[in-house]
Amino acid sequence: MSRKYFGTDGIRGKVGESVLTPEFVLKLGWAAGKVLRKNGGDGRILIGKDTRISGYMFESALEAGLASAGVNIELLGPMPTPAIAYLTQTLRASGGIVISASHNPYYDNGIKFLSANGAKLPDEMEQAIEDLLSQPMDCVDSSILGKAVRLKDASGRYIEFCKSKFPDELSLNGLKIVVDCANGAAYQIAPAVFSELGAKVVRVGTEPNGFNINQDCGATKPQAMAELVVEHKADLGIALDGDGDRVMLVDHLGEIVDGDEILYILASTRLIKEAPGTGVVGTVMSNIGLELALKELGIEFRRANVGDRYVMQILEQEGWLLGGETSGHIICRSKSPTGDGIVSALQVLSGMVGLGKTLHELKQGMRKYPQIMINVPLAGKTNPCHHASVKKAVSDAEQTLNGQGRVLLRPSGTEPLLRVMVEGRDADQVNQLAKGIAEVVAGVC
């Protein structure tokens, strides 16, 4: 269905422009309140946020909008997206709202909604919210206006939840871990989880100031953390993004371990034992090396559209437990109702500790094919993928690859970009083909 405001991960944009204004978010809160209070639960809506300076403004606007719809609110403060999902479910609320633009810079922000079970809203509910946005905003009688309170023990509840997902018979004693929280929502929680389980934690990205979220740190820029892992002679590094729902790892040699490799590690160390006969869901961006490695293990692999909501849809349809994206959104359905960076890292750590192997050793069963992705800025709303010259460039590249690779052009769901991805056996050839296609795309934008 065609939607005006919602993208693949809620509503996102630059603060103060387009729809990301206090006025719009006020009405968005009102519309969401009307839809979510019919969604089960006890009528409360939880609101959490990351550490962006604009979070205070949007939190207040949402609070006013929800109250005008007669909805009670519990404010969580800075809290990872998966924590808000967990608390929404366990507190029997009618829904949750996350104020975050995830991996984007501080001057962007976004609003995403969670259903009563902690999952992202289905398209139909987002459409219902959009439909209300076209109607005049009203207000319930003063006697039934919503009230707002702050949930004081939110962090402690979630820390204990994360720790419960690590085997009781194991500990992290003796491990040194670099934990990069991207100056984001997990800046207090993540170090506490790993240190309370016994690890010695080197903290990075734990001093948010409202402006430095994701700035040269976190899951989107793990290179600096990789250097620290080597410098501190750590066993591994764990990098989260601004809202804590994605994770990238670094082994003791400083090599980055992405979402595809994490899926392979979890499948080979846990899935075969816990859920034999089930498969793994990746996306159209997943490296073909993951597919081949899982095939060798006898594990079926399916590709979803980009976006963890679409990964989750296939997991639910098939009754499978494990899926994720190259970017580090990992869904372990037996452990969490949504993608959770901390919980996913703990599952990898349980494999390391339980088997007595390093992260570097655990990833050896998968051989990644060279893959290049170039982001081309889009100047307008026209999709250049339909342009004749772009189609020809893609066709020529596919002929050159001769069945030994893939070409994928995909508009970003969160930014005005077209992602050009080429994958194949030869790194130099892949690089040249990707650059060539990106140049053609840029020429027609």
Locate the DSSP E strands across 50-174: 72-78, 95-99, 108-114, 148-150
| Catalytic hit among 54, 102, 155, 344 | 102
Which residues, listed in sequence order, are joined to residue 111 by a DSSP beta bridge?
11, 99
Q: Is 102 a catalytic residue?
A: yes
Tell me what percent of the chain is helix, strand and coil, each rounded to the nearest 5: 40, 20, 40
As given in the structure block, the two tokens for residue 400 are 């050159």
| Pick from 195, 197, 168, 198: nearest CA to 181 | 195
Burial track 111-121 (b if 16+ CB lie within 10 A, e otherwise): bbbbbbebbbb
Q: Are 181 and 241 in contact (CB under 8 A)?
A: no
Could you tell me the CA-to-CA distances from 138 to 44, 66, 94, 126 in Å, in that order? 19, 11, 21, 20
- The Cα–Cα gap between 10 and 243 comes to 13
Tokens 């003796």 found at: 174
- The Cα–Cα gap between 28 and 10 comes to 12
Active site residues: 102
